[in-house]
A = this chain, B = another copy of it.
Amino acid sequence: MSDLRIPPRSAAGFELKAGQLLTVIDPEGIQVADLLAYSLADPREVISNGRTFDYEETIRLTTGNRLWSNRSNVLLTIEADTVGCHDFLLTPCSEATFRHFYPEHPVHRGCFGNLAEALAPWGIEPDAIPVAFNCFMNVPVDSDGKVSVIPPVSKAGDSLSLRAHQDLIIGITACSAYASNGGSFKPIDYRIDS
């Protein structure tokens, strides 16, 4: 299939079958894509940053690492990664985070609101949106534990490829926040290969 485009400040929802490879592409560079994965068989099973940190024993996930669910199953394995800098600590931007971090800007529903709409056809409610795997997001943690959000190191055409271990519902965004992408809003592309 040819690449599909997620327009700036929006999201897509789709099914990814067991064995298929999802490639997330940053077509212009310096952009973030929040990624969620739920079990199609029972969407109460969802990716979990804590279970992933438990089993992978790192907060810095790249090629070879797996994304685990709240039920301790592997949902996705990272098979290729041209960037090597992603985040699994922070939640999707939302109306509340816009009010908190950007009081000088108009409020936007953010990745959280975009994901809620994209996932609604599968009966997934907003409260069931956990921390997303934030592709290309650059969140350094200093030696005292302080976190900051700085522009991604991704360049135009960089990508991340993930293999599904079971049939999944995927939600993915082109991020809406100012800090995560250096103040610009850009599209995200994706492709599904068998």
Taking Cβ atoms with an 8 Å cutoff, the residues of A that contact B are 44-45, 48-51, 53-55, 57-60, 70-72, 89-91, 94, 96-97, 100, 125, 127, 129-131, 141, 143-148
CB distance from A88 to the nearest CB of B (A): 9
Copies of the polypeptide in the assembly:
2
CA distance A111 to B96 in the complex (A): 32
CA distance A1 to B168 in the complex (A): 49
Contact A97 B60, CB 8 Å, known A45-B127, A70-B127: no
When C-beta atoms are compared, the residue in chain B nearest to A97 turns out to be B54
Contact A48 B141, CB 8 Å, known A57-B147, A147-B59: no
- Of the A-B pairs whose beta carbons lie under 8 Å apart in the complex, a sample of 10, sorted by A's number, is A44-B125, A45-B127, A48-B91, A48-B131, A50-B131, A53-B90, A54-B90, A55-B100, A70-B129, A72-B100
Check B45–A91 contact: CB distance below 8 A: no
Check A60–B144 contact: CB distance below 8 A: yes
Kindly list chain B residues whose C-beta atoms are within 8 Å of the C-beta of A53.
89-90, 147
Check A130–B50 contact: CB distance below 8 A: yes
Contact A141 B96, CB 8 Å, known A53-B89, A54-B91, A147-B53: no
Given contacts A58-B147, A70-B129, 19 further A-B contacts (CB under 8 A): A44-B127, A48-B131, A49-B89, A50-B89, A50-B91, A50-B130, A51-B91, A53-B89, A53-B147, A54-B91, A54-B97, A57-B148, A58-B144, A60-B144, A60-B145, A70-B91, A71-B127, A72-B94, A141-B141
